[in-house]
Structures are given as structure tokens and as C-alpha cells.
Amino acid sequence: MFFSKQFDPAVDVPSLAGKVYFVTGGNAGMGYATCQHLARHGAKVYMGARSEERANAALETLRSEGFEPGNGQVVFHPLDLSDPRKAKESGESLVQQETRLDGLILNAALMMADYAKSIDGIQDVMTVNHFSHFVFTRTLLPLLKTTAAQPGSDVRIVAVSSGAHSMVSKMRFRDLDDINKEYTDAMLPKMARYGMSKLANILFIKELQKRLDAENTPIIALSLHPGGVNTDGAQKSVENANIVVRGLFAALKGVIFRSASEGAYTSVFAAASPAVRAEPEKYKGAYLVPVAQVGQPSADARDPALAAELWATTEKVLADLGI
């Protein structure tokens, strides 16, 4: 999908001075760019990453590129999404450190990975992309709600999904058997499993928004498809793919794949654009497509019963694990 220039963070985002954001997977690719855009408008941004070494290298690059004109700051915060317990610990640590949180951007993702299960018996792509983000968000919700209750606040929760969510259909999330589906019969099993996790992102946001609305909490939750973005993660995800997929990526990346900075535009819009708060009913639970447009996800992604089923099963699986 080609990128329009209808939204440009440099001119369309106001001062974010005094605001605090958290970006998961903030040390590379679109996560890095999201941190940069927000900090350049004066925000304090926590860069969630597993590797402190890689995060520090990213912070050094950010400093060298400058935060002008807003001169915000970016701070490393350890976050390991490979284990929901560690995600919970990370969230608890942040709650002890911070008095407010204006935006949570769930950006980190495991892409076209080989099929493997975590120590808890959950396939890795769903552990990282859904379960750990679910736990992390749940842990931070009290802080997000406290911030939302303050006068003049504008709190957002943003999940970076993908158009790949439409690769799967007629889904169910009744139990771990559904969640651990291998898609061995699919043409691209790795992409199908990734697509399932991205469908989970959209459904999570839909059900989360429903629950926030039910208790009159003025937080806006959104999911989005960033478009084709040429990041290290995208390139690594196709390294082990077949020759057709690798060739297609090589041919198209300079045409329809944009830089990580441009790829982050829709994330920044979702997290910080005044346009979202100006029309809350338009954007609550919405699925955005580049750049900053409300799109329509797949039929499964629009199914409220499936969203409720995923939420209930997620809570049961986590409860059974004592998380």
C-alpha cells in the first residue's frame, strides 16, 4: 500500500512535554522510529527491550541524531516478552517508577519464526505477540487509568497489528489447541501463524475498548496495519523463506516498502494525534491503515464474539499458569 502524506508527525503532533509513553520493541525498526517521533515532541519515552546492550546502542544513535526541537528523552526499560511472567515483572517495575502513563504502544513482534513452544506450552509467536503483551497491558492498566482520570489527559493504547491478520479465517480461540495451531497445510505456515497473532492483536483491542467503555474509562484503544515497512525485522523474517518470497521482497522493498520512520507515522498518529481525541467515537477500537486512515479489518477481526472468546481463553490460560 502506498503512503500518502496526509499526516506528518513533524507538523501534526503538538507538544508532548510532560507526557509519558512506553514503546515495546523500541530499540529497532518502527519501534525506534516511534520513540524518536514522540521524543522530538518533548515526551518522555520508555524504550522496552530485552537486550540492554542493543537498547543502549539505539539510545546512543538517538542522541547522535538529536531530539530537536522538542528535546524529550528516551529511557531504556527491560522487557522480555518471551515469558509472560517477565512481562508482568517489567510492568510492575514501571508502575513503581512512574506516576503517569499517557500512551502504551505494543509494537514488538516475533515474525516468521519456526514453530516452537514456550516452557508453558504456548507457541512462541502467540506468547510474544499476544500473551505477554496482554499481561503487560493488564499490569499497566491501573497507571493508565489513573492518568486518564486527570484533567486534560488523553490516554491511548495502541497495538501494531498487520494486514497479515487476514491470512487466517474462520478462527476459534477456545483453548490451547486452537492457539497452538501449526498451519502445516498452509502455503506459508510461518506467515499464517504470524497472521493469527496479528488477528489476536486486533481482537484484543476491540474487547479492551469494550471493557473500558463499560466502566466509562476515557482511554482510546486502537490497532493498526503500518503498511509495508523495510526494517531489519522484515528482512530477517524472509531470510529463511523460499526463493519466490525472497525474490518478491527484494523486488518490492524499494517500491512499496517505506522507511521505518515513515512506517511509524500511523503508530504516532494513533498514540498522539489530537484528531483521535477530537472524534473518540470514530477511533475507539478502530483499525487504522496507512497513513492514519480508519480501515476495515477481516470478518474475523470484526467479530465481537471471537474477541470475547480470545479474552476469556487468554485469562484462563494465564490463570492456570498462575500469572
What DSSP string runs through 158-175?
EEE--GGGGG--S---SS
Residue 198 annotated among the catalytic residues of the structure: yes
- Tell me, yes or no, if 93 is annotated catalytic: no
Question: Which residue out of 21, 32, 46, 194 is catalytically annotated?
Answer: 194
In the annotation, is 161 catalytic?
Answer: yes
Backbone angles phi, psi at 302, to 5 degrees: -100, 5
Q: Which of 21, 26, 82, 94 is nearest to 56 (CA)?
A: 26
Strand partners, 103: 21, 156
Q: Angle CA(211)–CA(216)–CA(218) in degrees, nearest 5?
A: 95
Q: Measured between alpha carbons, how far is 120 from 21 in angstroms, rounded to an integer?
A: 30
Cell triple for 74 = 528516551
The one catalytic residue among 90, 132, 161, 267: 161
| Given 44, 181, 190, 198, the catalytic residue | 198
**Containing H/E element for 308?**
helix 304-320
DSSP 8-state class, residue 128: I
Sheet architecture: strand order including 293-295: 73-78, 44-49, 20-24, 103-106, 156-160, 220-224, 287-289, 293-295
53 contacts: CB under 8 Å, gap ≥ 6: none
Tell me phi and psi for residue 49, to 5 degrees. -155, 155
H/E element, 270 = helix 265-272
Catalytic residues: 161, 194, 198
